[in-house]
């Protein structure tokens, strides 16, 4: 007579396999570390590092670990940045991931940052120490919200732009570096013009100089009203004073009203709307001279003389 197998209730206690036990123990260990870790102290440390590197003041209300589509990060909420270049900026969310742990041990720390702000979004690497700076992407930057300090100039910018930035930070609050950008929605309005200038394409390079001025390199614009190239410098802007300018303009005016306005102002313009000018003075009271700035002419001549790159 065959014996029936023992019932489940009659079996002895079941034990977990060794791999499962290890995973469970490690999981509980990490859980209690996350629960008991002094995240407030770490938030103050991160805020202090950013403040010291940039010469501004940063506050972080809360900081906690999180798992996102980008992987494990530290998620900061209610971040406020005060800096003389941007006045006051609030970040709705800042995600931080330590980068290159060796750098933290050797005194050159850096973090990968993703930030969403009222001005736009950034995604890049923030470095501290002697070579403090930011290198990365910027997207959906709202030009109308940027603190450009153009109130006294009668000039306003609108639209969005995307691009890349390589910015150096200084404990004294000075910014430097360059930004490459492109936009399909740039709109420029000026009290000196009867129409707003809307561009379906605008791309170029902006260089931030040590004195606070901005240099435009090979700015190309295209729209239904005008198209062409601009380059030169725009001085440091103040709320109560229009910045000085020294620009080279090589454009073709497509709008008949602007063509007539240029002719009435004594600006030499060809029958097809082409003009080349050097614009100086201030942004709200420019003076026009025929021809391009000497440095622009030399730069373009050297580019023409440069042999084509071999592929």
Q: Which residue has the tokens 């995973």?
A: 23
**Can you give the pLDDT at residue 40?**
65
- Considering only CA atoms, which of 264, 286, 288 is closest in space to residue 276? 288
Question: Percent of the chain scored above 90 by pLDDT?
Answer: 31
Q: pLDDT tens, 72-105?
A: 778 888 888 888 877 788 887 888 886 655 566 5
Cα separations (Å) of 139 from 14, 114, 143, 164?
55, 11, 11, 9
CA angle 55, 73, 42 (to 5 degrees): 50
C-alpha span between 120 and 83 (Å, rounded): 17
Which 8-state DSSP code applies to residue 211? T
Report the C-alpha gap between 224 and 196 in whole angstroms. Answer: 11
Provide the pLDDT for residue 62: 80
Averaged pLDDT of the chain: 79
What is the reported pLDDT for 20? 56
Domain residue extents for the chain: 37-129
Per-residue pLDDT of 112-158, as tens digits, reads 889 888 889 999 988 887 778 899 999 999 999 888 888 788 899 99
Residue 31: which pLDDT band, with cuts at 50, 70 and 90? very low
What phi, psi does 99 have (nearest 5°)?
-125, 135
φ/ψ of 183, rounded to 5, equals -150, 145
Calpha distance 212→170 (Å, rounded): 13
Percent of the chain scoring above 70 in pLDDT? 75
Q: List Cβ neighbours of 115 (8 Å cut-off, separation of 6 or more).
A: 79, 91, 93, 94, 95, 121, 122
The residue ranking higher by pLDDT, 208 or 212, is 208
As given in the structure block, the two tokens for residue 130 are 């002697």
> What is the average per-residue pLDDT within 3-21?
53
Contact residues for 6 (Cβ-Cβ < 8 A; gap 6+):
none
> Is pLDDT above 50 for 294?
no
Report d(CA 163, CA 174) in Å as an integer: 21
* pLDDT > 50? residue 311: no
Confirm if 180 and 205 have CB atoms less than 8 A apart. Answer: yes
Burial of 169 (0-12, 13-18, 19+ CB in 10 A): buried
Q: What's the rounded Cα separation, in Å, for the pair 23 and 75?
A: 25
């Amino acid at each position: 007579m065959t014996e029936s197998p023992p019932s489940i209730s009659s079996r002895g206690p079941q034990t977990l396999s060794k791999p499962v036990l290890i995973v469970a123990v490690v999981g509980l260990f990490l859980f209690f570390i996350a629960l008991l870790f002094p995240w407030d102290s770490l938030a103050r440390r991160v805020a202090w590092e950013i403040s010291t590197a940039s010469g501004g003041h940063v506050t972080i209300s809360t900081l906690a670990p999180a798992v996102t589509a980008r992987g494990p990060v530290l998620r900061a909420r209610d971040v406020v940045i005060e800096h003389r270049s941007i006045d006051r900026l609030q970040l709705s969310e800042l995600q931080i991931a330590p980068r290159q742990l060796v750098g933290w041990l050797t005194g050159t720390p850096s973090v990968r940052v993703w930030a969403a702000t009222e001005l736009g979004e950034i995604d890049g690497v923030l470095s501290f120490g002697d070579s403090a700076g930011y290198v990365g992407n910027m997207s959906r930057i709202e030009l109308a919200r940027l603190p450009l300090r153009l109130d006294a100039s009668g000039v306003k910018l609108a639209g969005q732009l995307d691009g890349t930035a390589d910015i150096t930070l200084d404990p004294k609050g000075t910014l430097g570096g360059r930004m490459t950008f492109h936009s399909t929605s740039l709109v420029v309005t000026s009290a000196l013009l009867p129409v707003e200038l809307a561009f379906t394409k605008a791309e170029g390079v902006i260089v931030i100089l040590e004195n606070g001025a901005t240099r435009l390199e090979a700015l190309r614009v295209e729209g239904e009203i005008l198209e062409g190239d601009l380059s030169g410098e725009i001085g440091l802007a103040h709320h109560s004073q229009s910045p000085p300018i020294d620009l080279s303009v090589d454009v073709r005016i497509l709008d008949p009203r602007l063509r007539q306005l240029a002719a009435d102002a004594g600006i030499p313009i060809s029958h097809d709307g082409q003009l080349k000018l050097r614009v100086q003075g201030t942004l709200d009271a420019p003076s026009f001279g025929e021809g391009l700035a000497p440095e622009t002419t030399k730069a373009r001549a050297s580019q023409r003389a440069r042999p084509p790159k071999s592929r």
